[in-house]
């Protein structure tokens, strides 16, 4: 149901070359990525507020928790804590990269249907920022020597006209897209914080805030 | 394991559009997964608010019905959320209700094409009133030869152009105005039809308008279809007129030039002439096309009358008349140049044209100097 034309993302332009002279390492770009996720989190709060008001109650009510159906195909941020802790750097980054690639694609689909100009503007702005985050993650992966994930033939997400999708079901999908986006940004902040700690020597103390978020 | 929504219940009608004030009868049918699920305990909410129990009733063991009367306009543009809940409050099914008023017809529709390939249309949306709902505009067009309806693909905004293949024209590129012999109250206007129209069979609508230099009121010469000339009469001698005209190509015209003779003009007067085209009879229809933009202005002057005017000095610039700065300045420069380079009594329009051509930077204007064959 939530199918998407995503081929463009898999052919992301070449990662900008890093400055080889006096290479400060991946530290600065990890920090930049971390900052970007916080910025996007902030941007999403206002975008989601507007969008959920557009969907109308009960979607904009706190603790609204509808069945998650078509949203099955959304990348899930929530993962077992031990599993998360044990992720190696490459896998951690790959999961982030793949997740945001999918989410960006779905968001662009949302933008196409959005009825008001204001929503389209906010969504377009957010998509641009999210594209920036993807580029930033790609930069970190390149700095760590990890190749960008390439789509396997056959698993490349392409748009397929799904079964007739009712408007209400679509609203629920939209709700879960925004929700998952929120969770992913929250998780990415943790991911990049952890990466930062690993790359930098322990001289710089980094505090990790683990909030209870249904993890 | 989560119960799939589509497996457990379905609401009918699904996403209906309704008139404000009308009634809605809806049903929520439970599909029986697990088998034996009943309509008992089900309830409705609309936009998050539980609906009064008396509005619903069980039609049978697995279906709950709802009647909503005198509907209000939708609370949000994405539609009102009508939801069927299980006894424990979980969502079984939903339907978006679009309650509103039909929009008004758009008006002031105008379409044009400059290159016979793209058509651009513009319209004003009908007064919204309060429709409560989003309004879609769609443009349909039909080519006369092909005769079937096509829908515009590309919309820029609600009130804005839509591009599809399709018809006006550019204005004539070269407009020449010259004197008619020594006639002091006439001018002849000639032009070449825009190159884009050369290959198309159509006839031309033809209209000329002119005004005195320092007036804003245009005088219009009546439509003269199918003719190649027109005369402006009743003009004041010694006055500057601005003349703008409609021009188009005549189907059976051998040359690809068309001309118009302006008569009744003032002697010794500078006129500014502009031309534009309106193809009609395109593809055999009787309708007029769209007027092109005005051509670049061209100027000419009528011969000075011998009996009128103070003094014989045809080169003296007329003084004291309020006029637009650039015209006056240009005339003064011209006459000054004339004094140096020619006998004033031999003043002819050709010289003026030559001067103008010399003044202008573009090479093209050199070719605008016409021999005076009339």
In this prediction, residue B51 carries a pLDDT of 97
How many domains does the structure of chain B reveal? 3
Q: Looking at the structure, do residues B29 and B140 belong to the same domain, yes or no?
A: no
Residue B374 lies in a domain: no
Beta-strand pair B43-46/B80-85: antiparallel
Q: Domain ends where: B271, B304, B337?
A: B304
B47:A171 CB<8 A: no
Q: Is the pLDDT of residue B306 over 50?
A: yes
B19 and B112 within one domain: no
Residue pair B168/B291 in contact (Cβ under 8 Å)? The answer is yes
Sheet holding B175-179, edge to edge: B175-179, B187-192, B257-262
**Do the chains contact at B81 and A115, CB–CB below 8 Å?**
no
Q: What ranges in chain B are assigned the alpha helix state H?
A: 5-8, 325-341, 349-359
Q: Which residues of A touch B15 (CB under 8 A)?
A: 166-168
Q: Which of A61, A66, A168 lies nearest to residue B95, judging by beta carbons?
A: A168
| Alpha-carbon gap: B111 to the closest alpha carbon of chain A (Å) | 25
Q: Are B129 and B191 in a shared domain?
A: no
Which of B11, B81, B94 minimises the CB distance to A57? B81
pTM over 0.90: no
Token pair recorded at residue B343: 């006998």
pLDDT at A190: 92
The reply to whether B46 falls in a domain is: yes
Contact A115 B93 (CB under 8 A): no
For chains A and B, what is the number of CB pairs under 8 angstroms?
70
pLDDT: which is higher, A68 or B96: B96
CA distance A7 to chain B (A): 24
In this prediction, residue B80 carries a pLDDT of: 96
Are residues A176 and A58 in contact, defined by beta-carbon separation less than 8 angstroms?
Answer: no
Question: Which tokens go with B116?
Answer: 């016979």
B62 in contact with A, Cβ within 8 Å:
no
Residue A134 has, within 13 A of its CA and on its CB side, a CA count of: 24
Q: Do B96 and A66 touch (CB under 8 A)?
A: no
> What is the C-alpha end-to-end distance of chain B, expressed in Å?
95
Considering only CB atoms, which chain A residues are within 8 Å of B80?
A: 56
Residues B15 and B86 both lie in one domain: yes
Q: Which of residues 29-58 of B touch A (CB under 8 A)?
A: 45, 47-49
The nearest alpha carbon in chain B to A164 belongs to B14
The rounded distance, in Å, linking the Cα atoms of B269 and B214 is: 13
pLDDT in tens, B43-59: 999 999 999 999 999 99
Are the beta carbons of B101 and B68 closer than 8 angstroms? no
β-bridge partners, B288:
B280
Question: Do B89 and B37 share a domain, yes or no?
Answer: yes
Domain ranges of chain A: 26-198
CA distance linking residue A141 with residue A52, whole number of Å? 34
| Chain A residues with CB-CB distance to B11 below 8 A | 168
In chain A, residues with a C-beta closer than 8 Å to the C-beta of B135 are none
Contact B94 A68 (CB under 8 A): no
The answer to whether residue B265 sits within a structural domain is: yes
- Please name every residue paired with B211 in a beta bridge, in sequence order, or none if there are none: B242
| Residue B116, C-beta contacts closer than 8 angstroms, at least 6 positions apart | B166, B167, B169, B196, B200
Nearest CA in chain B to A56: B76
Residue B338 placed within a domain: no
Q: Which residue has the tokens 């990466």?
A: A195
- Judge whether residue B105 has pLDDT over 60: yes
Cβ of A67 within 8 Å of Cβ of B77? The answer is no
Tell me the pLDDT tens digit for each residue of B138-195.
777 766 655 666 666 555 443 333 433 334 556 666 667 777 777 778 777 776 665 5
Range of the domain at B44: 9-100
Exposed e or buried b for every residue in B308-331, given b needs 16+ CB within 10 A? ebeeeebbeebeeeebeeebbebb
The radius of gyration computed from the CA coordinates of chain B, to the nearest angstrom, equals: 35
Provide the pLDDT confidence category of residue B137 given band limits of 50, 70 and 90. Answer: confident
pLDDT digits (tens, 9 = 90+) for B231-289: 444 555 545 555 554 333 222 232 344 666 677 777 777 777 666 666 655 444 555 55
Q: pLDDT per residue over B3-47, tens digit each?
A: 444 457 999 999 999 999 999 999 999 986 555 567 788 999 999
Is the pLDDT score of B227 beyond 50? no
Tokens of B363: 């090479």
- What residues of A are in contact with residue B78 (Cβ under 8 Å)? 54-56, 115, 167, 171
Same domain for B56 and B94? yes
Instruction: Give the residue from A95, A60, A90, A94 showing the smallest Cα distance to A78.
Output: A95
Residue A135, token pair as written in the block:
């580029």
Over chain A (215 residues), what is each successive 10-residue block's mean pLDDT?
46 45 71 94 95 95 88 82 88 92 89 79 93 93 83 44 71 93 94 86 52 48
* End-to-end Cα separation, chain A, in angstroms: 27
Distance CA A215, CA A211 (A): 9
CA–CA dist A12, A97 (Å, integer) = 11
Q: A89-113 vs A117-143: helix axis angle to the nearest 10?
A: 160
Q: What is the nearest CA distance from A91 to chain B, expressed in angstroms?
A: 29
The answer to whether the CB of A55 falls within 8 A of the CB of B76 is yes
Find the closest chain A residue to B74 by CA distance. Answer: A56
The answer to whether residues A197 and A206 touch, using CB atoms and an 8 Å cutoff, is yes
Q: Are residues B207 and B261 in the same domain?
A: yes
Complex-level ipTM: 0.79
* Same domain flag for B172 and B204: yes
B270 with B184, same domain? yes
The CATH architecture of the domain made up of A26-198 is Up-down Bundle (1.20)
Q: What is the mean pLDDT of chain B?
A: 67
Residues B54 and B82 both lie in one domain: yes
pLDDT at residue B323 in the model: 45
8 Å CB contact between B244 and B273: yes
Confidence at residue B18, expressed as pLDDT on a 0 to 100 scale: 93
Residues B79 and B113 reside in one and the same domain: no
Element (H, E) at B270: strand B270-277
Q: Which residues in A have their CB inside 8 Å of a CB on B?
A: 53-59, 61, 66-69, 115-116, 166-169, 171-172
Residues B61 and B136 in one domain: no
B70 has pLDDT over 80 = yes
Given a contact cutoff of 8 angstroms between Cβ atoms, the answer to whether B71 and B97 are in contact is yes
pLDDT for the residue numbered B182: 73
CATH number at residue B206: 2.60.40.10
């Amino acid at each position: 149901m939530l199918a998407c034309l995503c081929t463009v993302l898999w052919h992301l332009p070449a990662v900008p070359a890093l400055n080889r002279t006096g290479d400060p390492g991946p530290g600065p770009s990890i920090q930049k990525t971390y900052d970007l996720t916080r910025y996007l989190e902030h941007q999403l709060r206002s975008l989601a507020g507007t969008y959920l008001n557009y969907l109308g109650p009960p979607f904009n009510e706190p603790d609204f928790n509808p069945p998650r159906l078509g949203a099955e195909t959304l990348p899930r941020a929530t993962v077992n804590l031990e599993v998360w802790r044990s992720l190696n750097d490459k896998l951690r980054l790959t999961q982030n990269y793949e997740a945001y690639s999918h989410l960006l694609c779905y968001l662009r689909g949302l933008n196409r249907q959005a009825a008001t100009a204001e929503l389209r503007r906010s969504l377009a702005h957010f998509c641009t920022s999210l594209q920036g985050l993807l580029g930033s993650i790609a930069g970190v992966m390149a700095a760590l020597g990890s190749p960008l994930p390439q789509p396997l033939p056959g698993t490349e997400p392409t748009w397929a006209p799904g079964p007739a999708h009712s408007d209400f079901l679509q609203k629920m999908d939209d709700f879960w897209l925004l929700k998952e986006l929120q969770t992913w940004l929250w998780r990415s902040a943790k991911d990049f914080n952890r990466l930062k700690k690993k790359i930098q020597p322990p001289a710089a103390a980094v505090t990790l805030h683990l909030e209870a978020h249904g993890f | 394991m989560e119960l799939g929504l589509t497996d457990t219940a379905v609401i009918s009608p699904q996403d209906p559009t309704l008139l404000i004030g009308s009634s809605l009868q809806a049903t929520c049918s439970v599909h029986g997964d697990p088998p034996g699920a009943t309509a008992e305990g089900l309830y409705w909410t609309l936009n998050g608010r539980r609906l009064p129990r008396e509005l619903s009733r069980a039609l049978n063991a697995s279906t709950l019905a709802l009647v909503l009367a005198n509907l209000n306009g939708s609370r949000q543009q994405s539609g009102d959320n009508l939801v069927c809940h299980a006894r424990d409050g979980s969502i079984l099914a939903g339907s978006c209700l679009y309650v509103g008023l039909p929009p008004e017809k758009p008006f002031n529709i105008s379409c044009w094409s400059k290159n016979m390939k793209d058509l651009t249309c513009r319209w004003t949306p009908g007064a919204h009133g309060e429709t409560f709902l989003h309004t879609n505009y769609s443009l349909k067009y039909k080519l006369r030869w092909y005769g079937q309806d096509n829908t515009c693909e590309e919309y820029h905004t609600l009130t804005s152009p839509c591009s599809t293949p399709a018809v006006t024209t550019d204005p004539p590129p070269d407009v020449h105005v010259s004197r008619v012999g020594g006639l002091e109250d006439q001018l002849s206007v000639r032009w070449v039809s825009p190159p884009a129209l050369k290959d198309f069979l159509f006839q031309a609508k033809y209209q000329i308008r002119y005004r005195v230099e320092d007036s804003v009121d245009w005088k219009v010469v009546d439509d003269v279809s199918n003719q190649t000339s027109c005369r402006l009469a009743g003009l004041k001698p010694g006055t500057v007129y601005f003349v703008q005209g409609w021009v188009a190509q005549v189907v059976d015209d051998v040359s690809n030039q068309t001309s118009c003779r302006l008569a009744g003009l003032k002697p010794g007067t500078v006129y500014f002439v502009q031309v534009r085209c309106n193809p009609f009879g395109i593809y055999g229809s009787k309708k007029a096309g769209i007027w092109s933009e005005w051509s670049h202005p061209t100027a000419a002057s009528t011969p000075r009358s011998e009996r009128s005017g103070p003094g014989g000095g045809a080169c003296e610039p007329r003084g004291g008349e309020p006029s637009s700065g650039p015209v006056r300045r240009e005339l003064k420069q011209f006459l000054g140049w004339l004094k140096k380079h020619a006998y004033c009594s031999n003043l002819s329009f050709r010289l003026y044209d030559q001067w103008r051509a010399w003044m202008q930077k573009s090479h093209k204007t050199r070719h605008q100097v016409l021999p005076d064959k009339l």
